[in-house]
Amino acid sequence: MTPLSKFGNITSVGFQLFSFRNFVDRTIEQNEQNFFTIMKAFEPINVRIDAEKYHLTNDQMIFIGPGRYIELSNTNAGKGYAICFTAAFYERSVEDAATINSPLFFGEFPLLYGDASFGEDAFNQLIVDRLSRARMQSDRVFELVAHHCVESLLLDAYHEAAADSKLQLKSATDIGLVNQFSILVHKYCKEYTHVQFYADQLHVTARRLTEACLATTGKTAKSMILAVLVQQAVRYIKHTNLSISQISYEMGFNDESNFRNFVKKQTGHIPRVFRMQ
């Protein structure tokens, strides 16, 4: 896997921008650095996020939370950019934290947002060119400009998401806890499937963590762990040449039959079905 920094047209600590055409490996695995990702397409392009496929049309953006596996197709033909940034880079106020710790990045599904008025020329002028000029100045100037560029991309989509009653979350404390839990799950679900492990990392009780998950997602903490685990398993089955036995070992199962039963229980299908798709 090529590090994200090698893709970038413009990079800094906690922030990276690169064009789809510089996207050599076509994959991003965000687990190690906890990047939030915004993708802006100027031509149709397909994006696979974990086990799900999304189609971006002209001038659409997609917002992807940390810890996700992202794969692009037809990048050589498609025009567009990806911006990746960490919470440490972006959070400078309570409002910043509320924006990124929201359904914009942590909804049940990645959010697609279209803005025809913000096309390729406008994006290049207001984002790419500004960042290029700022990069030639001090690090402080660049960080301020990059933060403003990200903020400008987030706000309209954030307000649209917040206006959707289905995406309203009742407790900022709960969503912050669940978001941190989700990041940890994407990192460690192959090694740890017990809720207590994640509760210990977050310095809360297992009961408190489960209550927060139920309040914000309607799912228990345990079911969220298993959902991520099976998503990663299905991705291995569909997109690698590893045998089912090898995948079961990779996913932390000591017995192939237990892995097969797990996939069947979680998805309703045996692993072979996904390999044939």
What is the per-residue pLDDT across 116-163, written as a single tens digit (0 to 9) for each? 778 888 898 989 899 989 888 888 888 999 999 999 888 878 776 666
Q: In the CATH hierarchy, which fold is given to the domain comprising 4-167? A: Jelly Rolls (2.60.120)
Q: Tokens for 155?
A: 């706000």
pLDDT of residue 216: 75
Fold designation for 172-275:
Arc Repressor Mutant, subunit A (1.10.10)
When mean pLDDT is compared over 38-52, 207-221, 259-273, the highest value belongs to 259-273
Which pLDDT band, with edges at 50, 70 and 90, does 3 fall under?
Answer: very low
Residues facing residue 47 across a β-bridge: 54, 72
Q: Is pLDDT at 169 greater than 60 in this prediction?
A: no
Residue that wins the pLDDT comparison between 10 and 43: 43
Q: How far apart are CA 145 and CA 122, in angstroms?
A: 16
> Which of helix, strand or coil describes residue 36?
strand
What percent of the chain lies above the pLDDT cut of 70?
82
- Per-residue pLDDT at 261 exceeds 90: yes
Please determine, for residue 2, whether its predicted confidence score (pLDDT) is greater than 50. Answer: no
SS3 40: strand
pTM: 0.63
Residue 60 class from Cβ within 10 Å (0-12 exposed, 13-18 middle, 19+ buried)? buried
% of residues, the chain, pLDDT over 90: 23
Is residue 57 very low, low, confident or very high in pLDDT (cuts 50, 70, 90)? Answer: confident
pLDDT value of residue 164:
57
Residue 37 and residue 130: Cα distance in Å, rounded?
A: 19
When the pLDDT of each residue in the chain is averaged and rounded to a whole number, the result is 81
Domain locations in the chain as residue ranges? 4-167, 172-275
Please give the Cα distance from 196 to 108 (Å, whole number): 23
Bigger pLDDT: 129 vs 164? 129
Q: Band the pLDDT of 170: cuts 50, 70, 90.
A: very low
Of residues 53 and 263, more confidently modeled: 263
